[in-house]
Structure formats: structure tokens, C-alpha cells
Amino acid sequence: MVADDIPGVVALQRLCFPPPFRVDQLWTVEHLTSHLGIFAPGQFVAIDEGTILGSASAALVCEQVWNEHRSWEGTLVSFYLEGHDPTGTTLYGADISVHPLSRGKGVGRALYHARFNLVQKLGIARFGTGCRLPGLKASGLDPEVYISQVQANDRTDLTLTPLLRYGLTLHGVIENYMNDEESLNCAALLSYERS
Ligand SMILES: CC(C)(COP(=O)(O)OP(=O)(O)OC[C@H]1O[C@@H](n2cnc3c(N)ncnc32)[C@H](O)[C@@H]1OP(=O)(O)O)[C@@H](O)C(=O)NCCC(=O)NCCS
């Protein structure tokens, strides 16, 4: 991602996180400008002939922060990614989004490959993230039962299913992760350890 990509990323956010996801939790120009200033190598976009099809934002966090499996804000501190620690050993995914009309074509996988390549290049321990569970509320299931069923391919989740296909390892549920009605404020804790 470079500064010229920012307006396209802001527009993409509104399409990728529709209500009931809260508008005040979407990236603004100021947030994304801060991300580029703090840690440009961790910010990616997918572009097709000048059109932004996807974006992925991340910061580095230290072992203690990673091991405590905190909430989104407890990990990243703010929407400006002020929790970024240049000496951190986990590349922590803040978000990923692909345009609704471009899904299922490998754009998310390409963004994840870029993240995994960065982990290798930096020689750090892992990539980690908390993954939304947009089908959880509608399922009526306990979060642990829900993620087990998604992992077993007994049901699909718009977000968790693709992320498991990328080879991320599922560790469990973090409750009170972020304001996210569809996910009952829960997230699945995922990681990719450097080989
Ligand atoms: C999650 C997201 C980024 C995935 O991006 P994508 O470009 O559609 O994913 P890909 O095309 O790379 O798909 C990867 C795999 O997941 C599968 N997949 C994708 N969407 C799926 C769905 N809705 N149901 C079942 N499988 C799905 C694909 O078939 C593919 O599997 P394969 O490679 O084994 O054939 C995208 O759906 C998205 O933007 N979601 C909304 C925003 C969001 O919730 N972001 C996550 C914040 S934590």
C-alpha cells in the first residue's frame, strides 16, 4: 500500500464491512496514513488495472502481547496501530477485506501469501490474528461448537473458512474481542508459524 491507494481502501471498507458492523470501526484516511508512517511493509493492497480489489493491514507485537491473546484494541492499542512494536515477533493482522464482486478468486489468498512472505523475510516467529465469525450469531451455536463445525467442514463461515484454507492454525475463541454483532463480539484465534 502506498498513499495513493488510501482513498480506494477507504471506499472498499464500506463495501466489505456493511451494517451491522459499526461505521466508526472502519479505517479512515487518517488511520491508513498512520499505518504507512508506522509500518509500511505490513500494509498490502491487491490492485487490478488501477482498481483496489483488496487490502490487508498489520502491525508487529511482542511475545507477551501475543501470548496474552488480548482483544483487538488490547493488542493494537488504536485504529492508528499505535501498538506497533518494531522489535515485535508476531505480525498481527488488523484486518483483511476483498471486494464482494472479487471474492472466491484467490485475492484473499494472495494477500495472505504476502503476509506469510513478510514473516519469512523478517525472520520473525509467526503471523497471528483474531478472525471474525460473521455466521456465529445466526447459527445460534456456542462459539466453540461453531468454530469446531467450521473446522470440520460441517458448515462454512464467510471469513473463518477462507482463512483456514490459507493454512492458518485454529487455537480457540477470544470473547469480547471487538464490537461485532454478527460475531457476538467473538473472534477465532489463528496463527501461522514460520517454518
Ligand atoms: C475473508 C475474505 C478476505 C476472503 O477473501 P477471498 O478473496 O474471497 O478468498 P479466496 O478467494 O482467497 O478464497 C480462499 C478459499 O476460501 C474459499 N472460500 C472463500 N469464500 C468462501 C465462502 N464464503 N464459503 C466457503 N468457502 C469460501 C475459497 O473457495 C478458497 O478455497 P480453495 O482455495 O481451497 O478453493 C473475504 O471474504 C472478505 O473480504 N470478507 C469480508 C470482510 C471480512 O470479514 N474480513 C475479515 C476480517 S477478520
Any atom of ligand 1 within 6 Å of the Cβ of 169: no
Hey, is 161 helix, strand or coil?
Answer: helix
pLDDT at 90 (0 to 100): 98
Any atom of ligand 1 within 6 Å of the Cβ of 6: no
**Which phi and psi angles does 149 have, rounded to 5°?**
-70, -40
For residues 185 and 162, give the distance between their C-alpha atoms in angstroms, rounded to a whole number.
20
Residue 166 Cα to ligand 1 middle (Å): 9
Any atom of ligand 1 within 6 Å of the Cβ of 83: no
**Which phi and psi angles does 189 have, rounded to 5°?**
-80, 125
The structural architecture, per CATH, of the domain 3-193 is 3-Layer(aba) Sandwich (3.40)
CA 147 to chain centre: 17
pLDDT at 195 (0 to 100): 83
Any atom of ligand 1 within 6 Å of the Cβ of 14: no
Q: Closest by alpha carbon to 58, among 21, 96, 17, 28?
A: 96
Atom of ligand 1 nearest to the CA of 159: 1
Consecutive 10-residue runs of the chain (195 residues): their mean pLDDT?
A: 97 94 96 98 96 97 97 98 98 97 97 98 98 98 98 98 98 98 98 94
pLDDT at 39 (0 to 100): 98
Task: Spell out the domain ranges in the chain.
Answer: 3-193
Entry pTM = 0.96
Residue 159 Cα to ligand 1 middle (Å): 6
